[in-house]
Chains A and B, each alone.
Chain A
């Protein structure tokens, strides 16, 4: 059996000479929910529109469900899309909106009615079928938009930032609904968002895009634990990874030593093929730093600002001797700490990251056992 649902092969797209997608190859497996994430202008929406058939690639090939659909009409490639603005037809009732594609296909009215009812029940829209979109709440419109996609029983669902028009509380709720729906239907989905929390929580696989290229693709925790480069490292995770400048002092078989403004730091690492003296970036997630007593930690500095969120506390610490902005450390909710306190920080070497001057990750941790 073919387990791939969408295959992109060296797809490029340029608009009037400007390259927006610069050769993207990607495979989406059947039943997977893949999230495209990246800063605005990274090409994630264009990539989705290429899969949808709303744009035609400048070069490359797109296969959906085993068929080459590179130049196929959007309605003939087994995809359905949920638009950011929902794009509901304002002059049609919920029922007509959901059934529109079937009507165009020429399906008998009775059959359309049955299918629309079934979809509406799944989405708890049954009581709203005769309303016009303007009489619906944001969440309801969202569900109609999803229903319109579902009724066509597509091979692939496409979501273009579907939650960005909702307010914060509803967004969380709809996120859970979409995740639940995906779990129930097991439908292959491609989902675009600029919100990395959405990406982390929903995705089976995240594709991080930047400047029209894939920076890294993989399961959310894989990207979080082993970012392939500085871009992914800083883009995934909230608050973001702290980056400190350092130079490589020496490398042994399973350990590297870097020199920072506060002296040498040794990290367990293998296969880091770099020359001594090279400029590197040391990446430290807020939770891979912890408070310790004087003399024990590798870094020290002064507390700049404290954000208490209840369950956890983020401390902004200005490191001694560094030009860099304060680093963020994640601490316990009721940690005893005050602004201007001097603190000493211990680094969890297993979870520290090193990046070369080209931004690529250097080597990997010898013990690949995952830790919570």
Chain B
């Protein structure tokens, strides 16, 4: 940082970040550790915590014989592995189409961005439920086209499809980030490539994509973290069903704790979810050096 002595006071600086330090200890660090400790107990929601017993790793060991957990884990991975790449690809595609000086392009950006602002709400989940209901919007269209209706939310595969579609529908925030990344690529690189005779497609692969990797990395991390935590959509649209086909881990964590009162087991599940997300993020950060291209060395700015 700059050596300005007006900001040299460690005491003042500590005072400013004190809210974070306190909040972090109280609302993040403590619950984080407490949930691990809880995961080693048989604590129940309705009982005093003092009545709980340490049962070692039983909660974790029990998961492997729990068919619901295995199902939920599989469903979660399927959901994440399908939505994240599709959403990123779609966001990038539309961003590239939008990155063009045309009249009214701002209007389209707004239109595509809107769903990602509203998409997490209960209201949208409710609409989604109506859209895919037996006598809902999609089936009305299908009837109109002479095709028999599909029981979208009643069949495991199509229920999952509806949930996935809701996530893809919200590609806007990733798109806006891509768009800003595209705008930051200097125009003269493309002009130079034109003179070198590179085709548009080649320019995309040789210039656009490499220079976009930092933004892609950011989007990838955010999407992974968010997708693993999806709750509202499946909870309201399908309730996790049918036959647990949309029973994502966050739903199971919630129901184990607040429906079946198994705080210990639920905590263990939440730690499994945490470890999964941590592994994916760590992997992404580690792999960064192989595929993320930073144009400038990143150093702390300022100083004299």
Contact = CB atoms under 8 A, between A and B. Distances in A.
Nearest to A73: B6
A45 B304 contact: yes
Interface string B1-40: 0011110100000000000000000000000000000000
B304 A56 contact: no
Contacts of B8: 56
Sort chain B's interface into a size bin: under 10
A53 B4 CA distance: 10
Contacts of A53: 5
A46 B3 CA distance: 10
Contacts of A15: 3, 304
Query: Would you list the 3 A-B pairs with minimal beta carbon distance, nearest first?
Result: A55-B5, A56-B5, A15-B3
Interface in A45-62: 45-46, 53-56
A92 to B, nearest CB: 20
Nearest to B8: A56
Nearest to A55: B5
Contacts of A55: 3-5
A56 B5 CA distance: 7
A69 B199 CA distance: 67
B5 A54 contact: yes
A56 B304 CA distance: 15
Contacts of A46: 304
A53 B8 CA distance: 12
Interface in B193-220: none
A46 B5 CA distance: 11
Nearest to A15: B3
A74 B3 contact: no
6 contacts: A46-B304, A53-B5, A54-B4, A55-B3, A55-B4, A56-B5
A79 to B, nearest CB: 14
A195 to B, nearest CB: 19
A74 B6 CA distance: 9
Interface in B278-297: none
B304 A54 contact: no
A41 to B, nearest CB: 9
A54 B6 CA distance: 6
Given A45-B304, A46-B304, A55-B5, 11 more contacts: A15-B3, A15-B304, A53-B5, A54-B4, A54-B5, A54-B6, A55-B3, A55-B4, A56-B5, A56-B8, A74-B6
A56 B8 CA distance: 10
B82 to A, nearest CB: 47
B219 to A, nearest CB: 32
Contacts of B6: 54, 74
A144 B6 CA distance: 23
Contacts of A74: 6
Nearest to B3: A15
A18 to B, nearest CB: 10
Contacts of B304: 15, 45-46
Contacts of B4: 54-55
A120 to B, nearest CB: 28
Interface string A270-313: 00000000000000000000000000000000000000000000
Interface string A298-341: 00000000000000000000000000000000000000000000
B303 to A, nearest CB: 8
A284 to B, nearest CB: 36
Interface in A1-58: 15, 45-46, 53-56
